[in-house]
Amino acid sequence: MFGVTLIGLMGLLVLSPIQAQQQQQPCGRLRQYQLYNSREITDPDEYPWLGRIGYSSNESGADPKEYRYLCLAVLLSERHAILPAHCIGEHSAMEPTTILFGDWRSNQATHEGDCLTADSCAPPPESYTILELAIHPQYDRIRHDHDIALAKLDRNVRFGDFVQPICLPPDHEVEGNHIGQRLEMVGFLRTTGTEGSWRWKRQVHTLGSKYCSTHPGFAGFNQSSNHICGLISSTDAIMSGSPMMGVNVVDGNPDSFYLIATATFGVSRKREIVPDGFMRIYPFREWIVRNMV
C-alpha cells in the first residue's frame, strides 16, 4: 500500500479539554470581511485547512508519483487530517498516498501557484505523504455510518497564511442543534475537466430527517444521530470530505471556525437541487484525539 500503514483504532463557547489539547496551536482562523463578502470563490488564504487527497494506481507498471485527486481531507494538526473512511477503499485500483495542502485550484498543475487575477494569487501547494490511516472500527459502508478516518502524515505540515488547521467541535454540542440552520461550507467541485475548479464556498441549509427522506437518494434511508442532511442551493456535485463549519463566538464576536461535519454521500450528477449526506464530527471527538498521537 505504498508504505501506508492501515490501522483500525479505537454562541459564547467554553473550550473543552479536547479543544484545549488541540489548541496548543491556533486553529480555525476567521476573518470577518471574508465571512460576509458573499463571494462563491474563496480568497486564496481563506479556509486554509482544506486538502486534496492524491491517489496512486496500484496496477503493474503505473507511475507511483502520478496522482489522481478524488477526495478531500481537513487538517486538524501538524501531523493529522480527517477524511471519510469510504475514500480509503472506494477506488479498488487506487490507493490514497498523499494529501496536498494550500491548493486554490483543483487542476493537475500541483507544482505551480494559482492566480485568479494579477493581484490575487496563491503560492504552490505542498504535498505530504500519508504515513498511517486509522479507520473508525464501526465504519458501515452500506449505511454510510461512522464514515470517518484519520490520516497521519510523514512530517509536520508547515503552517502559514495559506495552510492552517481547523478547530474541533466545542464540548456542548448535542444531537440536532445544527438542524434548520445555514452553515458555512467549502470544497472543490467534482469535475472531469483538466482545468479543475476553484476552491468555492457555499451556505448549506441543514434539514430535518423527515423532510430529508422525501428527496431522491434518501427515501427509506435510516439516518442515525451521526448524520446531517444538508441542502446546497446549487446543482453542482461536491467532493467527498468537503467540510461543513460552525463559528466559535467569543465576547459577542465571531472568533474561529470549527468542524461540524464532512460530506460523505449524495447524488454524483445532479439535475436538480437535492440534499447531500454529511457525517457529524462531534460524536467522534474522543476517538479522533486518542488517535492524534
The 10s digit of each residue's pLDDT in 224-253 is 889 999 988 777 778 999 999 999 999 999
The residue count of the chain comes to 293
Cβ-based neighbours of 92, under 8 Å, separated by 6 or more:
none
Q: Are 97 and 87 in contact (CB under 8 A)?
A: no
The whole-angstrom separation of Cα 76 and Cα 288 is 10
The enclosing domain of 114 has a CATH number of: 2.40.10.10
Cα four-point dihedral sign 212, 218, 219, 224: negative
Mean pLDDT score across all residues of the chain: 84
Question: Would 219 be classed as within a structural domain?
Answer: no
Residue numbers of the domain that contains 53 = 5-10+47-166+286-291
At residue 258, the 3 state secondary structure works out as: strand
| Residue 102 backbone phi and psi in degrees, to 5 | 90, 10
Question: Would 266 be classed as within a structural domain?
Answer: no
Region 156-161: mean pLDDT is 96
Domain count, the chain: 1
Q: Are 53 and 188 in contact (CB under 8 A)?
A: no
Tell me, what's the pLDDT at 228?
A: 92
Question: Would 190 be classed as within a structural domain?
Answer: no
89 HSE (CA, 13 A, CB side)? 11
Question: Would 218 be classed as within a structural domain?
Answer: no
Question: Would 223 be classed as within a structural domain?
Answer: no
Question: Would 64 be classed as within a structural domain?
Answer: yes
The 10s digit of each residue's pLDDT in 85-136 is 999 977 667 889 999 999 998 887 788 888 888 888 999 999 999 999 999 9
* Amino acid at residue number 264: T
Could you tell me how far CA 7 lies from the centroid of its own chain?
20
The 10s digit of each residue's pLDDT in 17-56 is 444 445 567 899 999 999 888 889 999 999 999 999 999 8
Could you tell me how far CA 178 lies from the centroid of its own chain?
17
